[in-house]
Amino acid sequence: MSGEHGELPVAARVRRLEERMIAAGLATDTELDEILEQVFAFASPVNGARMVARAWKDPAYRDRLLADGNAAAAELGLGAGAQGYLLKAVENTPAVHNMIVCPLCSCYPTALLGPSPSWYKSFAYRSRAVREPRAVLAEFGLELPESTEIRVWDANSEAATWSCRCARKAPGRWTKLSCPPSSPGTGSSVPPPGKQTVPGRPGGQRRPITCSSPLPPHRKPPPDACCPHRTAGRDRHGRGGPGHEGDVERRVLPGR
Amino acid sequence: MTRFTAGARVRARAADPDGHTRLPRYARGHIGEVVEVRAAWPLPDDAVRGVFALSRSMRCASPRPRCGIRGLHSVIIDMWESYLEEAP
Amino acid sequence: MGGQTGFGPVPTGDNGQFFHADWEARVYAIVRVLQRRGVINAAFDDLRDAIERIPPAEYLTMSYYERWLRAAEMLLAERGLLGR
C-alpha cells in the first residue's frame, strides 16, 4: 500500500471525513482500526479453499456443498463468513463452465474468498461478462470449446455463487495448501495478497499491524486441507486460468 | 404467497424506476424461466426509502443458451419476484 | 452496467491486495462504521443507492473506493450527520 496518507487529494479528503465523523461522535480511531484488523485477520481465500479441498476429498461433503453452501461453510467453522447471504455452489464440467458477475456493484463473498480482484470490479468485466463471456474468458487465457456452454450468473448481495470444478484426484497429486483458490468470477488463479497493514489514523501514530497472507498463523488450516498443485494457473491439460483446477465449486442448473 | 414456481415463464418488468433497483437494465422486458425459488428478503428498492417490504428471491435463466460468437452461453440472474410478471 | 459496450479489455492483472492505497482502507472502515451506526443498512442498499445517484459522467471517472467515498459523503450530508 502507499505510504504517505496525505499525498493524494483523495487521501486528504478521506482524512477530513474521518476527522469530521470522529468529531460528530460517529466513529472513533480505535473502531476504525479494529474494523481493518478484522478484515485482514479473517477474510481470506484460504477459507474458501478449505471448503473446496474438502469437497474434492469427501464426495459426501461435495454433495452437501452443492445442496446447501451455507451449511457446508458452517461445517468447517466458516458459517460466520457466509452469514447474511445465500451461498450457492455450482460445478464446472466439461460440458458447462460457469462465471459469476455482479454488474450492478461487484458483490463478492469477501470473508470466504478474500478481497475481490480488481478485474472483478472493473467496468469492463461488469459490462461484458453477460454479453460476451467467451471473449472475456479468452482475455484470461482460457479458450473453451464451442461445445462447452458458458453460464453467467448475475449474482446479487443476497446470493453469492461459487464456481469450481469437482476434481477428484488421487491423493498423491495433492500438496499442502500453498496457494489460494481460483476466483469465483472466472476461475482464474488469485495470487495471495501481500502484506497489508492497518494504515495510520489522521494525526495519530501508525499502528504496525501486519497481517501476513494468506495464512495468519492462528488461522492455519488443519493438515488435511489441501488443494491440487497448480502450475502458473494451468491445469494438467495445459488450459489456463478460469474455470479449471482449483476453481471454487459452482452448481450447474438443470440442462436446457 | 409466491406467485411463481420453478419452471414458470416470466418477464422482467420493463419499467425504468426512479431510485434504486436491483433489476438489471439489460434484463428489463426480457423473458426467462424461474429455475429456483428461495427465501424472501427485504426488497432493496423499498429498503432505501425506509419501507420494509419482503419479496421472494428467485433465480431466472434466459430461456435458452444464446448462440454468441464461438459458442453457447446463458445468463442466470438473481431476481426478486417483485420485478417479474407472467409471460405468455 | 451489464451488457453495455465500450469498456475495452478486462484488466486481468491483480496483486490480490484488499486495498491498493491506505486511503482505500480508510474508506472501507468508514463505510463499515456507517453500517454499525445504521446510516447504511446491513445489505448495503443505502450505499448502492447513493453510488447510483452519482452523476454518470463522474461515476465513470471514479475508482471503486472513490465511489464508496463519494457515497458516504452524500449520505452523511443528506442526513445532516456531520453538523455544521
Nine-digit cell at B4?
411463481
Side-chain-side CA neighbours of C38 within 13 Å: the count stands at 2
A87: confidence class by pLDDT, cuts 50, 70, 90? confident
Query: A135 Cβ partners below 8 Å, 6+ apart?
Result: A128, B69
**What is the 8-class DSSP label of residue A28?**
-
**Range A14-25 average pLDDT:** 95
**pLDDT of amino acid A166:** 45
In a domain? residue B59? yes
**pLDDT of amino acid A3:** 43
Q: Any chain C CB within 8 A of the CB of A26? A: yes
What residues are paired with A250 via a beta bridge? A90
DSSP string of chain B, one letter each residue: --S--TT-EEEE-----SS---S-GGGTT-EEEEEEEEEEEE-HHHHTTT---EEEEEEEE-SS-EEETTEEEEEEEEEEGGGEEE--
Chains touching B (3+ CB pairs < 8 Å): A, C
Provide the ipTM: 0.92
> pLDDT for A141-164, tens place per residue?
999 888 888 999 887 656 666 765
In a domain? residue B4? no
Q: Any chain A CB within 8 A of the CB of B7? A: no
Tell me the C-alpha distance between B42 and B27, whole Å: 21
Identify whether A106 is a catalytic site residue: yes
Q: What total number of domains does chain B contain?
A: 1
Distance of CA C49 to the CA centre of its chain: 10
B24 chain-C contacts, CB cut-off 8 A: 2-3
Size of interface A-B (CB pairs under 8 A): 77
Residue spans of the domains in chain A: they are 1-256
A254: confidence class by pLDDT, cuts 50, 70, 90? very low
pLDDT at A245 over 50: no
**pLDDT of amino acid C15:** 63
> pLDDT for C7-56, tens place per residue?
889 888 776 677 889 999 999 999 999 999 999 988 888 999 999 999 99
Residue of A213, A160, A26 lying closest to C76 (CA atoms)? A26
Residue spans of the domains in chain C: they are 22-76
What CATH topology corresponds to A1-256? Nitrile Hydratase; Chain A (3.90.330)
Nine-digit cell at A120?
472483478
Stretch among A33-37, A144-148, A239-243 having the lowest mean pLDDT:
A239-243
- Give the 3-state secondary structure of residue A160: strand
In a domain? residue B3? no
**pLDDT of amino acid A252:** 27
**pLDDT of amino acid B64:** 56
Residue range(s) defining the domain that contains residue B17 = 9-86
Tell me the C-alpha distance between B27 and A119, whole Å: 23
Which residue from A1, A13, A193 is facing C16, i.e. has the nearest CB? Answer: A193
A13: confidence class by pLDDT, cuts 50, 70, 90? very high
Nine-digit cell at B85?
410478471
In a domain? residue B46? yes
Residues of chain B with pLDDT under 50: none
**pLDDT of amino acid C41:** 87
Tell me the C-alpha distance between A62 and A69, whole Å: 10
What percent of chain A shows pLDDT beyond 90? Answer: 30
**pLDDT of amino acid A218:** 31
Q: Any chain C CB within 8 A of the CB of A232? A: no
C46 chain-B contacts, CB cut-off 8 A: 47-48
**pLDDT of amino acid A160:** 63
Identify whether A227 is a catalytic site residue: no
Place of cell 478486462: C10
> pLDDT for A94-133, tens place per residue?
888 999 998 888 888 888 888 788 889 999 999 999 989 9
Q: pLDDT higher for A238 or A109?
A: A109
